[in-house]
A and B are shown apart, each in its own frame.
Chain A
Amino acid sequence: MRVLRRNLTAYGFLCAALACFAVFAWYPMIREFVLSFQKTTLVNPPSWVGLDNFLTVVQNPAFGKAWLNTVEFTALALLCGYAVPFVMALVLNELRHARAYLRFVVYLPVMLPPIVAVLLFRWFFDPGPGLFNQLLDFFHLPALAWLDSSSTALISLVIVATWMNMGSATLIYLAALQNIPSELYEAAELDGAGIFKRIRHVTIPQTRLILLLMLMLQVVATMQVFIEPYMLTGGGPEDATMTVAFQMYQFAFTLQDYGAGGALGMMLMIVLLAFAAVQLRLTREDKA
């Protein structure tokens, strides 16, 4: 009787959360699966269409390009968004002055609403009076077309994404670096390890878990990039910035083809889950 009562109270406390999760987190996952096999217009009741949605998605001319771009974007963003914050954190950790100021400044862009960063950089990228071309001009370097050229559009998006997101990664690394016991460095120094050897044999092994975790978070975050192509390029020029997430949005909300959007979403989900599984495995082996 007491057990029953305790369970009833507990589920009384839980029921609101259960309802929210059920309707707005668990059900959408199932719904995505169902959506991808249905024709959904939100006006007429949905009908089953088998694999039609997947065919629509695969036959779209920009399909391959979108995946290629997503991989390229992720690789570029890893280069900038993963390596740069780690180096930044390493340097910040060595400095003995201006620490509070530097932490504040690095995190400042993270606090801005993404739309602010994106619209600000849209102006910087302006080929005419935009800040970047004016700076290039000041140093007598040739102007770039930035968002208007298919060769520089993707890297321009990476620049914005890095600028507005790198603060959080930097501070997380910084906290991890501060947890490394100083005896390890002292021991390494006694053994004659120079600065780079100390980084390689002490710093990196000690922060390995957080590095792996951040790698996963970074990849998952970049794969979902949306606001940058939505506001800055609309996927162009010549599909140069068409990413999977943005194409998904276009299918669903520009073409009103929720089924095709759902099918593409399923594909993205499978890829990301496979990636997470591999990652988890790597981390496990690491612990053992």
Chain B
Amino acid sequence: MSTREKRAPKRIEVQFRTIVSPHQLNSRWGRRIYWTVLIAVVTGSTLVFVFPLYWMITGAMKTGEEIAQMPPTLFPAHPTFDAFIEAWDLFDIGVLLKNTAFYALGAWVFSMGVDVAAAYALSKLRPMFGNVVLGAMLATLMIPPMVVIIPLYVTIVDLHLLNNAWGLWFPAAANGFNIFLLKRFFDSIPRELVEAAQIDGAGPLRVLWSVILPISRPILGVVSIFTIVTAFKDFLLPLLVMTDSENMTVSVGLSQTAGAVSQNQIMGGLVISSIPMIIVFFIFQRHIMAGLTAGSIKG
């Protein structure tokens, strides 16, 4: 009787074994500790990672007086969207977002073209000194970007690329990590497939387009998203290169105007400029998380 009562709580399903064994987990104390920890972690993470965003959004919906009020209100007393509209005008967010989208998409198209071609040549055409070239490209990963930002800037100035989108697109294409990921994937494509296409009379470009690229869709997805997200998040290089206010990116534009507007307007601007990345995250969550581990685990 009593054993049946104790068995009543739902068993915690274990599909894969980890540090704590299924037996321990489903013991009386194991179950109690498990549920306590679960609740603590879920509330803790929500407070730490989601609550700041809630505060940002509600902050933008408060009036100028309410946002400065002490102690603060948990909900806006009279929710208003005025701050969003004001922020849109004050920061000129429409222009900023348009610029950022233009730089990000351009960086994507250009660096995909350049890096895919290079990785294909290094993986399947295997030219003389190919390994030297690959080594030199991967060596750039050892040098942190911040360290060479000054000479990079001086070079961009010398080439008269200030306030020119190419000043962002060229450096974006010189990405050793993209080449590494793409080449490693191309290497795993069997030679026979390429040879079969060659016997059918396909030239190198045709092989790339009709054989390699269709198979490589997963890695192309990962590299694409990372290129776009990186371009969207980048701060220092756009800050230096895009100096005219009509050319600025969202991040730079926000940083330059934030000192001159009120707190609820800043929050409105932050909310608006976060939305594109949050949408990307909702749609491509799986790709993003797969890409995160693609390079690091086996690399």
A contact residues vs B (CB 8 Å cutoff): 6-7, 9-14, 16-18, 20-21, 23-29, 31-32, 35, 40, 42, 90-98, 101-109, 111-116, 119-121, 123-124, 128-129, 131, 134, 137-138, 163, 167-168, 171-172, 175-179, 182, 185-186, 189, 195, 198-199, 202-203, 210, 213-214, 220-221, 223-224, 226-227, 230-231, 245, 248-249, 252-253, 258, 261-262, 265, 268-269, 272-273, 276
Contacts and interface: CB of A to CB of B under 8 A. Distances in A.
A253 B21 contact: no
B133 A14 contact: yes
Interface in B245-299: 250-252, 254-255, 258, 263, 266-267, 270, 273-274, 277-278, 280-281, 285, 288-289, 292-293, 296-297
Contacts of B235: 113-115, 226-227
A103 B289 contact: yes
Contact residues of B: prevailing secondary structure: helix
Contacts of B14: 96
Nearest to B35: A97
Contacts of B255: 115, 119, 230-231
Interface string B154-173: 11010100000000001101
Interface residues of B, number: 100
B128 interface: yes
Nearest to A109: B49
B289 A171 contact: yes
Contacts of A42: 154, 157
A287 to B, nearest CB: 14
Contact of A10 (B45, B127, B267): B127
B274 A112 contact: yes
Contact of B121 (A10, A113, A220): A10
B38 interface: yes
21 contacts: A6-B125, A7-B128, A17-B115, A17-B137, A21-B136, A25-B176, A26-B140, A28-B151, A32-B147, A42-B157, A92-B41, A94-B20, A101-B42, A108-B49, A113-B232, A113-B274, A115-B251, A171-B289, A182-B16, A268-B146, A269-B143
B13 A96 contact: yes
Contact of A31 (B151, B232, B289, B297): B151
A121 B48 CA distance: 12
